[in-house]
């Protein structure tokens, strides 16, 4: 209620305005329905034009079912007036978006892929990243809460997203523990009527985030009756369940609809797939990877020295604590023999979702229509984890009899001398998995709700006003339990001392059998006490982030002037948005048990935005004018002004044109400016840009600094230089690093253009061809660049102190002021590197999206063929003023910005009477692994990367078959369909890709293998 009062206090009353808002951000398009065909002939099972075969609000559910049997028609080409269809990309009522390519996945296509989440629907669109992915867990967002963040053409994700996600044309609450991202999976999949993807800049209509484009999830309406569905799925060591219900009622003046969906997808353990935790030499050789470069630090499995009881290093030799010796460097196979850090871990979480939607509309009198939508979603992820955080072991020096420990440290009473050596102290690495066994886990999730009252007032047949208010909130959590308490392990291995930058310190000296850690003895022979074992798992980290959201939008829409070619149409309006974030974190402070030694952090963020927009549709030429070479010509002009409470304002125009050369052959083009506002979790909660990641840590090591840019670097004592660079970040030349947000951030600026064409030949009904050449530029993208690029492209990020400074230096204190210190400030420092987020990334991407569709109807049914492809031709980037280089056809270099050249999806469908069968093909072309785990390392020379591992192309086949049960014989199931879906029919494993999550690329590969699902759907 408090949020509602706040919105009303801003003058945002929906009722008092008596306006309508039945989808404010896009038109109620006016596409004539396609011609009827026999009921046995379904629509395309793949990607479809947004306007073909979609339901009109006035239709009953039976009428909709009949309409959905129609094939795509030439209506997709027209701008004929009607109120029936909601279209993404324009505020104008009565026209489809001009100049842009609009991709749609309809209800039947959704039902023919056995989806359990909205994320799985998007896998059918090659222009959206993740064609081959599992889409389970925090795909594309790297957020511990499990938030999904779909992106178009790989342009932006993680901390912010250059793809705008909306539901029924409006925004909704953002989610994430450390990020602020829109997760469309809050909608029950059985409530989705269709999904529209607009891969074109659209900030002129929608404001922030729409640089790469817009994904709009349009929910069902005017549904009569009850529809229930359920399915179960099976794969090796993997299970899924789904159940849902949709119920609705329509009457002359309104309608009401409710939907609920439950989805459960089981966890996938690393050990359930052999290629996830074991190096496969055959795969690496087939991929052309040079195995001679493999070392323990550049491994191609997930084996490591982070074992337990322990690994021991004396000089350059590594031992197991049981006495087994391995030389250094260690071969890949030997590293794997040490231990598997993921032996008790899950690759994919156990995921449960409960989604609920309730919506309705009622006409009041002849002119006013009011409505309200309510959505609630609850996601829970449970993931088993390694005891060692991220698989990284505790590493410390252990002292035995005959040694002289430093002050505060102690001799470990369990110390064992390695046979054949005389060392009385050595380095120990310890992870805890074998000693402590399974039991560490992460429980994460998000609860999201919103309510959306809206109204429309009809002044006349041609003029309407609309308004709507979205109020909602998300609560994202992550709870990490049972990980190894690092400081507890250090104290129990050598007695300490463990110190904090604040000056706090703790020791456990002297060590005794009661408080020491035994890492030398296996199983029941281990001498570690129960008290210490319990302390080693006392490390709980809790994160809880609440994000509030309010959006009010109003607009008027109507006909302005009758031109020779048609009616000039206008839409004008305004918008107000308010965001809040409350971020809380508790966890160990590094002095021992979390239950008695924890830190607490709470940050509050807020922002509001005021906007105004206008759009005009201009018909220039129509068929009746008989202009040679021009069957029709339409223009669209749009513009928007946004004023933010923190960083300032932006202005973004767009121009679009459709030129129909002859009937059925259309050329189109658009040009636009767009932007992405800095995410609040990047901008920060105060003038320092403080976020949950803000701190001061040790600086980057072995940093090559160009002398031309930083001439004073040669004055640092003992620095090693060549003719162009000097190396700092060595043991003798130490530095510090600033991490976190940045209150000086400005919007990411985008500029897009596209040229395309559509062909629907009148002589060959059922054929549709479409192609679009798109171009997208992002200037000042927000990221924290690697130091090697930052020192070249943004000299302000590196501050040198050639004579050295200490922690008490005023110059150093000025840089560190107000930031938490995550390292001990001692001795002399020669540089400070800013790893804060900044407007430093510049991207230029181009490519071609295309589709070919054909359907042929026969007396016995029909056949349809669909092929959709997304092919990138350019993906250039630079950091600041640094050199430009290509990352085309790579993944990993920009983490969540994959730039794979080719993604393709095709299908062939056949329907005979009550039976429908579809065979799908999914193909991702070959590319390169440019991640930090590539076996052939990515080498950066002069700011330009090269190297990396080749990754083979990946092709899989999926299948669907459904059978409509005879309603006249099964009266209790009058409209029932049973279906079978098989994903990855050939059970093909993904190509080898070396990374820390297993031997596959999560953006293009799927570790699940063959998944078989059977289900039933019925309506009454």
H or E stretch covering 63: helix 61-67
Q: Is residue 301 part of a domain?
A: yes
pLDDT above 70 for 797? yes
Q: Is residue 486 part of a domain?
A: yes
Residue-wise pLDDT for 762-777, tens only, equals 767 889 999 999 999 9
Q: Is residue 70 part of a domain?
A: no
| d(C-alpha 396, C-alpha 680), whole Å | 38
- Tally of structural domains, the chain: 2
Q: Is residue 534 part of a domain?
A: yes
Q: Is residue 484 part of a domain?
A: yes
| d(C-alpha 106, C-alpha 850), whole Å | 18
What pTM does this model have? 0.87
Alpha helices in 278-339 (DSSP H): 281-286, 332-338
Is 536 within 8 Å of 592 (Cβ atoms)? no
Residue-wise pLDDT for 309-337, tens only, equals 678 888 878 787 766 665 544 443 444 44
Residues contacting 655, CB < 8 A, separation 6+: 99, 635, 636, 637, 638, 670, 671, 672
Q: Which of 188, 189, 161, 162 is nearest to 175 (CA)?
A: 161
pLDDT value of residue 66: 35
Domain that holds residue 299: 274-349+385-443+480-542
351, 541, 866, 1005 from 382: Cα distances, Å: 7, 15, 38, 22
**Domain boundary at 834, 867, 892, which?**
834
Tell me the average pLDDT across 78-94.
61
Least confident piece of the model among 136-140, 657-661, 742-746, 752-756: 136-140
**Residue 711 banded pLDDT, cuts 50, 70, 90:** very high
**Domain boundary at 834, 868, 902, which?**
834
**Residue 356 banded pLDDT, cuts 50, 70, 90:** very high
Tell me the average pLDDT across 62-78.
34
Least confident piece of the model among 591-605, 722-736, 936-950: 936-950
Q: Is residue 475 part of a domain?
A: no
Q: Is residue 625 part of a domain?
A: no
Tell me the average pLDDT across 714-728.
93
Tell me the average pLDDT across 499-516.
85
| Secondary structure (3-state) at 987 | coil
pLDDT value of residue 844: 94
41, 234, 387, 562 from 960: Cα distances, Å: 16, 15, 41, 50
Residues contacting 910, CB < 8 A, separation 6+: 861, 862, 863, 916, 917, 918
pLDDT value of residue 75: 31
Residue-wise pLDDT for 17-36, tens only, equals 333 333 333 332 322 333 33
pLDDT value of residue 39: 29
pLDDT value of residue 14: 32
**Residue 188 banded pLDDT, cuts 50, 70, 90:** very high
Is 977 within 8 Å of 1019 (Cβ atoms)? no
Least confident piece of the model among 50-59, 380-389, 980-989: 50-59
Q: Is residue 403 part of a domain?
A: yes
Q: What is the DSSP string of 838-866?
A: EEEEEEEEEEEEEEEEEEEE-SSEEEEEE
Q: Are strands 163-167 and 213-219 parallel, antiparallel or unpaired?
A: parallel
């Amino acid at each position: 209620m408090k949020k509602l009062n706040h919105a009303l206090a801003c003058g945002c009353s929906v009722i008092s305005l008596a306006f309508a808002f039945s989808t404010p951000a896009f038109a109620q398009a006016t596409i004539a329905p396609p011609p009827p065909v026999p009921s046995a002939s379904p629509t395309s099972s793949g990607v479809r034009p947004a306007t073909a075969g979609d339901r009109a609000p006035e239709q009953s559910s039976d009428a909709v079912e009949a309409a959905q049997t129609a094939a795509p028609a030439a209506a997709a080409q027209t701008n004929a007036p009607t109120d029936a269809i909601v279209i993404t990309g324009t505020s104008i009522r009565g026209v489809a978006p001009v100049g842009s390519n609009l991709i749609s996945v309809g209800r039947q296509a959704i039902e023919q892929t056995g989806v359990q989440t909205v994320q799985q629907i998007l896998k059918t669109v090659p222009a959206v990243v993740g064609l081959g992915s599992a889409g389970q867990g925090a795909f594309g967002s790297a957020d511990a809460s499990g938030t999904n963040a779909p992106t178009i053409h790989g342009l932006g994700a993680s901390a912010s997203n250059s793809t705008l996600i909306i539901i029924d044309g409006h925004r909704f609450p953002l989610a994430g523990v450390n990020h602020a991202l829109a997760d469309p999976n809050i909608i029950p999949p059985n409530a989705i009527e269709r999904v529209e993807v607009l891969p074109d800049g659209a900030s002129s209509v929608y404001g922030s985030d729409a640089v790469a484009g817009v994904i709009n999830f349009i929910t069902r309406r005017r549904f009569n009756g009850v529809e229930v569905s359920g399915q179960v799925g099976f794969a090796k060591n993997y299970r899924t369940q789904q159940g849902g219900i949709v119920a609705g009622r329509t009457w002359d003046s309104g309608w009401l609809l409710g939907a609920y969906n439950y989805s459960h997808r089981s966890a996938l353990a690393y050990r359930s797939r052999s290629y996830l935790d074991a190096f496969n030499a055959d795969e690496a050789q087939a991929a052309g990877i040079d195995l001679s470069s493999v070392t323990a630090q550049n491994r191609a499995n997930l084996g490591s020295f982070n074992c337990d009881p322990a690994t021991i290093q004396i000089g350059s030799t590594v031992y197991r604590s049981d006495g087994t010796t391995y030389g250094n460097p260690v071969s890949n196979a030997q590293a794997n023999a040490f231990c598997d850090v993921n032996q008790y871990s899950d690759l994919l979480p156990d995921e449960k979702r409960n989604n609920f939607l309730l919506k309705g509309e009622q006409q009041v009198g002849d002119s006013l229509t009011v409505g309200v939508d309510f959505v609630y979603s609850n996601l829970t992820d449970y993931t088993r984890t390694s005891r060692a955080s991220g698989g990284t072991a505790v590493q410390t020096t252990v002292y035995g009899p005959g040694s002289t420990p430093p002050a505060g440290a102690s001799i470990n009473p369990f110390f064992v001398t390695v046979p054949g050596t005389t060392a009385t102290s050595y380095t120990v690495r310890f992870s805890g998995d074998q000693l402590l066994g399974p039991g560490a886990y992460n429980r994460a999730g998000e609860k999201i709700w919103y309510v959306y009252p809206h109204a429309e007032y009809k002044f006349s047949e041609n003029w309407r006003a609309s308004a709507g208010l979205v109020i909602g909130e998300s609560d994202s959590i992550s709870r990490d339990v049972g990980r190894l308490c690092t400081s507890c392990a250090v104290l129990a291995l050598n007695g300490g001392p463990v110190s904090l930058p604040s000056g706090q310190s703790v020791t456990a000296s002297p060590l005794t059998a009661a408080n020491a850690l035994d890492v030398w003895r296996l199983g029941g022979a281990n001498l570690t006490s129960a008290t210490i074992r319990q302390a080693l798992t006392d490390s709980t980290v809790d994160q809880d982030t609440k994000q509030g959201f309010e959006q009010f939008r109003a607009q008027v829409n109507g006909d302005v002037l009758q031109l020779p070619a048609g009616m000039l149409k206008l839409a004008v309006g305004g918008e107000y948005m308010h965001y809040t974030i409350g971020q809380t974190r508790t966890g160990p402070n590094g002095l021992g048990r979390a239950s008695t030694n924890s830190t607490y952090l709470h940050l509050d963020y807020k922002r509001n935005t005021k906007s105004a927009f206008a759009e005009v549709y201009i018909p220039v030429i129509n068929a009746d004018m008989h202009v040679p070479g021009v069957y029709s010509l339409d223009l669209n002009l749009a513009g928007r002004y946004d004023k933010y409470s923190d960083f300032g304002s932006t202005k973004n125009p767009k121009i679009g044109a459709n030129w129909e050369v002859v009937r059925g052959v259309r050329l189109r083009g658009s040009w636009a400016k767009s932007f992405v506002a800095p995410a609040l979790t990047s901008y920060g909660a105060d003038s320092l840009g403080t976020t949950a990641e803000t701190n001061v840590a040790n600086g980057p090591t072995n940093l090559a600094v160009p002398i031309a840019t930083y001439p004073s670097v040669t004055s640092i004592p003992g620095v090693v230089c060549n003719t162009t660079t000097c190396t700092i970040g060595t043991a003798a030349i130490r530095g510090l690093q600033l991490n976190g947000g940045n209150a000086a951030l400005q919007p990411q600026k985008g500029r897009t253009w596209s040229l395309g064409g559509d062909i629907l030949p009148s002589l060959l009904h059922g054929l549709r061809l479409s192609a679009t050449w798109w171009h997208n530029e992002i200037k000042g993208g927000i990221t924290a660049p690697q130091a090697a690029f930052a020192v070249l492209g943004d000299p302000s990020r590196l501050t040198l102190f050639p004579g050295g400074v200490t922690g008490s230096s005023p110059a150093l204190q000025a840089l560190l002021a107000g930031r938490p210190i995550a390292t001990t400030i001692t001795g002399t420092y020669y540089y400070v590197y800013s790893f804060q987020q900044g407007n430093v990334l510049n991207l230029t991407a181009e490519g071609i999206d295309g589709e070919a569709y054909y359907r042929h109807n026969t007396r016995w049914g029909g056949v349809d063929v669909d092929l959709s492809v997304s092919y990138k031709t350019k993906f250039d980037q630079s950091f600041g003023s640094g050199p430009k280089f290509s990352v085309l056809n790579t993944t990993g270099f920009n983490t969540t910005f994959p730039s794979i050249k080719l993604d393709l999806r095709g299908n062939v469908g056949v329907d005979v009477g009550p039976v429908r069968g579809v065979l799908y093909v999914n193909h991702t072309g070959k590319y390169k692994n440019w991640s930090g785990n590539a076996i052939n390392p990515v080498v950066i020379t002069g700011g330009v990367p090269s190297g990396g591992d080749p990754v083979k192309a990946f092709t899989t086949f999926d299948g669907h078959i459904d059978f409509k049960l005879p309603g006249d014989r099964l009266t209790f199931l009058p409209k029932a369909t049973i279906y079978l879906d098989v994903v990855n029919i050939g059970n093909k494993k993904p190509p080898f890709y070396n990374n820390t999550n297993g031997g596959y690329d999560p953006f293009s590969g799927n570790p699940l293998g063959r998944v078989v699902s059977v289900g039933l759907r019925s309506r009454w």
